[in-house]
């Protein structure tokens, strides 16, 4: 993609359903017009914007004559199909006023889990940008099944940002950013201006599942932040309906919460980012404190001796989460043992394993080259 244009000016913006859909349950075309005006301004300033949009189901169920959001998969997929057509038409008309073409790109996790399809998606996005079009990306809900969904478009947007090596990822949300305390309970709650890491303390600020800022809200945005931190792509969480929010974020003005890796942080390679973001983890490995320190601060591989628990039933070469004892996600990687063997070998040094299984001598559980550390 770098041969086509300067990726330092690629900006990925994600807009959620709660921001996109108006009080009447339909697409808020006035907001879309304002958002597109901002993206058009960025185009004229030399940026290459990509829009990741939610709202297909919300836009589709009324279009099909339904009075409430359905809860069965086939009807949801039908609504997504109708809604994607509606959304694309609304966006295309808004961009047409600026003489800017759009290209619809529908992705599923199954698509991106295949390395070749992942590269094809990157090439398609790159070519659209090179031709002066704005890609409009959404999850392909019409064919996705539960085990292959992204779960939220915050994550999809972060993956798209890594695919194109964007210079910035902006989540246009219905909240102003990450609060230090719950604003619903604390009227004096303050916004966290900047973050350079997602720590357990930061996760605690996002609230527990079921809270105002719980699962489906700020937690998914912090999960996206882990991805962009690994890729060294700055990410901004801000209120989408705030005037000029996208342009202000692109101009590095203070708006919302900015998550950005420290200058000295390592930029992980494209293969690691693909493994850790596109693939679905098949299980998890829990490390003791010494192993966590070695992985985080010494560049170590994950060794069987430091494993305290193995969760799930995975095979060799599966992608698994790597966690600390308190449940913090510290990384994701490709495991070299199936789960049953790793349960037998956990807590053992490599030389001990090698005495009994010579062909496993020297095998880490996850080699550093196959491990993305968040």
Query: 263: buried, middle or exposed (CB in 10 Å: 19+, 13-18, 0-12)?
Result: exposed
Torsion of CA 285, 289, 293, 295, to 10 degrees: -10
Whole-number Cα distances in Å, 193 to 18, 86, 189, 254:
23, 36, 13, 8
Whether 7-259 shares its CATH topology with 281-373 is answered no
pLDDT (tens digit per residue) in 321-345: 999 998 888 888 899 999 999 999 9
User: What is the DSSP annotation of 31-59?
Assistant: HHHHHHHHHHHHHHTT-EEEEEE--HHHH
Tell me if 148 sits within 8 A of 109, measured CB to CB.
yes
Task: Give the domain ranges of the chain.
Answer: 7-259, 281-373
If you ran DSSP here, which 8-state letter would residue 9 be given? G
Q: For the structural domain made of 7-259, what CATH number should be given?
A: 3.40.1160.10
DSSP 151: S
- What are the pLDDT digits (tens) for 29-59? 899 999 999 999 999 999 999 999 988 877 7
User: Do β-strands 319-323 and 329-334 pair in parallel, antiparallel, or remain unpaired?
Assistant: antiparallel
Q: Residues with Cβ < 8 Å from 221, sequence gap 6 or more?
A: 154, 171, 173, 178, 206, 237
| Alpha carbon distance, N-terminus to C-terminus of the chain | 25
Other Cβ atoms less than 10 A from the Cβ of 269: the count is: 12
- Evaluate whether 180 touches 192 at the Cβ level (below 8 Å): yes
The residues that bridge with 236 in the sheet, in sequence order, are 170, 258
The rounded distance, in Å, linking the Cα atoms of 78 and 76 is: 5
Spatial CA neighbour of 232 closest among 261, 256, 206 = 261
For residue 101, the SS3 value is: coil
pTM assigned to the model: 0.80
Q: Which two structure tokens, joined as six digits, stand for 121?
A: 């998606």
Helices (H) and strands (E) in the chain — how many of each? 14, 13
Largest CA distance in the chain: 72
Q: Does domain 281-373 have CATH number 2.30.130.10?
A: yes
- From the list 150, 146, 21, the residue with the least C-alpha distance to 74 is 146
C-alpha to C-alpha distance for 250 and 47, rounded to whole angstroms:
9
Residue that has been written with the tokens 């959001």 in this structure: 69
Write out the chain's pLDDT in tens, 374 residues.
444 455 669 999 999 888 888 887 778 889 999 999 999 999 999 999 999 998 887 777 777 877 777 777 788 778 788 878 888 899 999 999 999 999 999 887 777 777 788 888 899 999 999 999 999 998 775 555 444 345 568 888 998 999 899 999 999 998 899 998 878 778 888 999 999 988 878 888 876 533 333 334 888 898 889 889 988 999 999 999 999 999 999 999 999 999 998 887 776 777 777 776 666 788 999 999 999 999 988 989 999 999 999 999 999 988 899 999 988 888 888 999 999 999 999 998 888 888 777 666 678 999 988 898 87
The CA distance from 155 to 169, in Å, is 11
User: Could you tell me how far CA 249 lies from the centroid of its own chain?
Assistant: 18
CB-based burial label for 299 (10 Å; 0-12, 13-18, 19+) = exposed
Return d(Cα 51, Cα 54) in angstroms, integer.
Answer: 10
Tokens of 228: 């962009």
CB 363 within 8 A of CB 263: no
């Amino acid at each position: 993609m770098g041969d086509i244009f300067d990726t330092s000016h690629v900006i990925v913006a994600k807009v959620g359903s709660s921001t996109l859909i108006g009080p009447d349950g339909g697409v808020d075309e006035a907001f879309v017009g304002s958002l597109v005006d901002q993206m058009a301004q960025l185009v004229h300033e030399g940026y290459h914007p990509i829009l990741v949009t939610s709202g297909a189901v919300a836009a589709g169920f009324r279009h099909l004559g339904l009075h409430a959001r359905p809860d069965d998969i086939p009807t949801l997929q039908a609504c997504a199909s109708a809604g994607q057509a509606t959304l694309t038409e609304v966006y295309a008309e808004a961009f047409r006023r600026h003489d800017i073409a759009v290209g619809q790109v529908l992705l599923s996790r199954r698509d991106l889990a295949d390395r070749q399809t992942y590269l094809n998606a990157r090439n398609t996005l790159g070519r659209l940008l090179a031709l002066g079009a704005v890609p409009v990306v959404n999850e392909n809900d019409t064919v996705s099944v539960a085990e292959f969904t992204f779960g939220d478009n915050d994550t999809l947007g972060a993956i798209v940002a890594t695919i194109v090596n964007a210079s910035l990822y902006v989540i246009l949300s219905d909240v102003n950013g990450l609060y230090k305390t719950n604003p619903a309970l604390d009227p004096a709650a303050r916004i966290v201006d900047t973050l350079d890491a997602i720590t357990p303390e930061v996760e605690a600020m996002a609230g527990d599942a079921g809270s105002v800022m719980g699962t489906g809200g700020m937690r998914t945005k912090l999960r996206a932040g882990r991805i962009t931190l690994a890729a060294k792509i700055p990410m901004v969480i801000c209120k989408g309906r705030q005037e000029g929010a996208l342009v202000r974020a692109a101009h590095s003005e203070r708006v919302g919460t900015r998550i950005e890796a420290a200058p000295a942080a390592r930029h992980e390679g494209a293969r690691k980012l693909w493994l850790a973001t596109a693939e679905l983890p098949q299980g998890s490995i829990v490390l003791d404190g010494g192993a966590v320190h070695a992985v985080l601060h010494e560049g170590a591989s994950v060794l069987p001796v430091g494993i305290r628990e193995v969760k799930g039933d995975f095979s060799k070469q599966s992608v698994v989460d790597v966690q600390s004892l308190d449940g913090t996600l510290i990384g994701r990687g490709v495991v070299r043992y199936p789960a049953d063997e790793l349960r037998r070998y956990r807590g053992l040094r490599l030389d001990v394993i090698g005495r009994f299984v010579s062909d496993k001598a020297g095998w880490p559980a996850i080699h550093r080259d196959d491990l993305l550390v968040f």
